[in-house]
A and B are shown apart, each in its own frame.
Chain A
Amino acid sequence: MAYSQTIPQTVAVAPGVTLLMLPEPRFKRARVSMLADLPLDEGRAARSLLLDVLEQGSARHPGRVALAQAEQAAYGARVMMGRGSAMERHRTRLGIEVVGQRFLPEGEVVLPPALALAGSLWQEPWRGDQGELFRAEIVDRERELLLQRIRERIDHRSEWAEERFLQHLCPDEPLGLLSWGSEEDVLAVTMDDMERERLRLLNEAEVLVLAIGPLQADDLLPWLREMFPGDRKPWQPPAQELREAGELRMVREELDLDQAQFHMGFRLPPPPDPQQRAALQVANVIFGGGVTGRLFRVVREERSLAYGIGSMLRPRKGLMTVAAGIDANAADEVQDAVLEQWQDLVQQGPTPEEMSTAMVAILDRLAAVADDAGSLGAFHQREFHRGTHLTPAAWAEHLQAVTPEQVAQAASLWKADLRYLLAPESKA
């Protein structure tokens, strides 16, 4: 198998703003993703409401209709904004996608108008008629809609269970916070707060721009330099706060639902180097990564207790989590299976077949990373934020060097911290 050896072109656009360029003429669509990070534990409610308000129009495109029509006229260009948490950071996204030039009729261009549209959203807000920072009727309406979305989270049972699980797992850590902010936070946001956060996105956020597909750095640099001033003072993310697990905690909550949602959280020390990170990834795949993992094999295939079960790593945060939809009565049996498989992995290590199956699965997906702009972007984004800047080919070498002993060692560092169960309401 061949792995991408392409090193992204890195351009320092302004202090705290980096462009990673991966020109790729094979792709039919050009994709630009801007990730702007600020602290998760302050300002997130104002930024959440700000994004909803900015999506309603800019000075250049006043109104949703004008914005959407401009996208459509550019052959379905897409300009997307979003927010969420990434470890202990609050991440605001601005994404642009346009169809490649070779698929357009002669004389048509779509990237410049799409960039102008996206830039106007952050740089040129649609101000009020009397000079207000934003249009009051829009702020009121979007605030109410955001509050409704916050209140309706509970209707989506599996997402609700995951949110509650993280709140219990990380009760006094930023990761346990809702990335939208609470109802109280959103109600308290003022227009001044929103304008302050807009300026922070432009002047203080740590910004990574990933550009992949049929486009070149020169297509983007003038636009980026106009957006981000050369004298900006970027936020310095604090060192990651880590916790250790004590005794295994048990939390059970009830709701009107049909299927119980089972979660377990393990704490672990973040791997200090790529080789230990590779061992941790292999350990996770063997334990609960997909249909070849132990959890799927034992809990689903052998005991028929779940349709899906799997584990997920947040290595920089020092977390490994397990999730499954089950019958509530089977929660103890599933927990026992999870703990047994983990202990067996630590004590006996992986079998040769498990090592080979995990390795071939990881390497197969790694080879395919180069086929898709989304996967390629996600790979290089993670490498950038870790500060390791590996290519897929270099990462493959670390993976291929992992031994069974390293896998067992990686699993031995996990500490079970919490079992959370969202169960159907008990009948009186």
Chain B
Amino acid sequence: MKILQTLQHPLAGETVVLAESAHGVRLALCPTPGFSAASAHFGLRFGSADTRFRMPDGRQVEVPDGSAHYLEHKLFEGREEKVFDRFGRLGASFNGGTGFHATTYHFESSGHFEPCLEVLTDFVQHPLITQERVDKERGIIEQEVRMYDDHPAYRGIFLLHQALYHNLPIQVSPGGRVADVHVITAADLQSCFDGFYRPQDMCLSLAGDFDPEQVLHFVDQHLDLPPREVAERTPLSEPGKPQHAWLEESFPVSRPQVYIGFREPAGVGLGAPRMERRILSSLILDLIFDRSSEIHEQLYRDGIVDDSLSCYWTDDASWGHVVIQAVHDEPKVFVDAIQQALTRFAADGPSREDAERLRRAAYGASVSSLQTPSALASSLLRGMMDDDQPFATLDFLAQMDFEQLSARAREMFGEERRAVAILQPGERSE
């Protein structure tokens, strides 16, 4: 185990120890004296979008959509005993999650931190994947997929992804479709595990009232998966403009639901460029669509937007887009009015006063969010997986340059990079 750096972060009011295990797992530890619970978050950059890859032995593999999520479920089965039962006996709260490009597992415990850490490091490194076990889980995952299928916002977002992108696998939800769930095999999941669950791609963050050196020693004994080559993802070509400008589908909703996306031509990779783009993009959306904005107020008074409006920036290394969503009786009217407002904003640019006020608000919200050991560990894991320094968001907000914000505002809303998805009231499309 190597301690790489001990970092005092005055803005966050925290100390972080960065380390690396003997086999290459990256670690971040944050002592939180006086707190009862301790938390560990484990993650790796492997997600639902990773469906085509070449194994280290040269074998080309293609797995069904939803495989990464299915694998997450199977890891919770444990090798000899269900993880639910092991964590359950220890009283821990725990969960896992699969995104497009990452899978994470975490727990929180007040009284049994090291035994829980042993469970976590064990089940993510030593699964037993058999066809019988995979078949047993199918009904459960099918119900999970169907649960999301009834959410209009969930359906609307994936329809928007279909409009925005040509080839990226983010057009399908991380859980896959019911039909995908029916055909996933043990061999598919084993390939995913063998290809991507490698120590040099793993990250582990821990926060709690503990002695970091003692915890590092404990962890080093339990991170025993030997380093091996990681599978190579098959590159996908993705044109820089949306596949469809306008896509509609019927769904059982009372009124039309409108989803507008503005995509980037390409991603900017991980690390500082992505983090900065994320913060700047989010601030610009607040400058336009937060209740503090005169633009938003005018749209509200005109009946174009109401409290159903929401907007956000979402991205990863290879893609990024804005989402603006709302319920509106006349989608075309809504889209035109939003486009006009965006064009006007891009031409006028943000005001320094508004930007400074929003910067303060974002800073206050970011500090406040780093409260519990679990929130701290989650933030540290995200930072490691995104190749950012701990609490990099706070550092950037503390010294943000107004010119960067203005430049970002000018490039975000090109109409040629816009796609619209609509859920129209009606019976569910087949």
Contact = CB atoms under 8 A, between A and B. Distances in A.
Interface of A: 1-2, 26-29, 63-65, 67-69, 71-77, 97-99, 102-103, 110, 141, 145, 148-149, 151-152, 154-158, 255-259, 291-292, 296, 300-301, 304-308, 325-327, 356-357, 360-365, 367-368, 370-373
Contacts of B89: 356-357, 360
A375 B88 CA distance: 21
Contacts of B137: 304
B237 interface: no
Contacts of A157: 150-151
A373 to B, nearest CB: 8
A364 B143 contact: no
Contacts of A154: 254
Query: Which of A158, A255, A326, A364 has the most chain B CB atoms closer than 10 A to its own CB?
Result: A364
B360 A75 contact: yes
A263 B144 CA distance: 17
B352 interface: no
B317 interface: no
7 contacts: A1-B36, A63-B297, A65-B294, A76-B364, A258-B428, A307-B140, A357-B89
A145 B306 contact: yes
Contacts of B370: 28
Contact of A68 (B146, B150, B290, B364): B290
B367 interface: yes
Contacts of B373: 371
A155 B252 contact: yes
Nearest to B329: A148
Interface string B48-91: 00000000000000000000000000000000001011011111
A33 to B, nearest CB: 15
A72 B357 contact: yes
B13 A102 contact: yes
Interface of A is mostly: helix
B288 interface: no
Nearest to B254: A152
B88 A292 contact: yes
Nearest to A365: B93
B4 interface: no
Contact of A367 (B11, B110, B151, B307): B110
B292 A305 contact: no
B11 A103 contact: yes
A28 B139 contact: no
B360 A76 contact: yes
B307 A145 contact: yes
B88 A291 contact: yes
B252 A304 contact: no
Contacts of B254: 151-152, 154-155
Contact of B372 (A67, A151, A371): A371
Contacts of A368: 36-37, 108, 110
Contacts of A367: 36-37, 110-111
Contact of B368 (A29, A296, A326, A370): A29
A66 to B, nearest CB: 9
A423 B387 CA distance: 46
A360 B90 contact: yes
Contacts of A145: 306-307
Contacts of A292: 84-85, 88
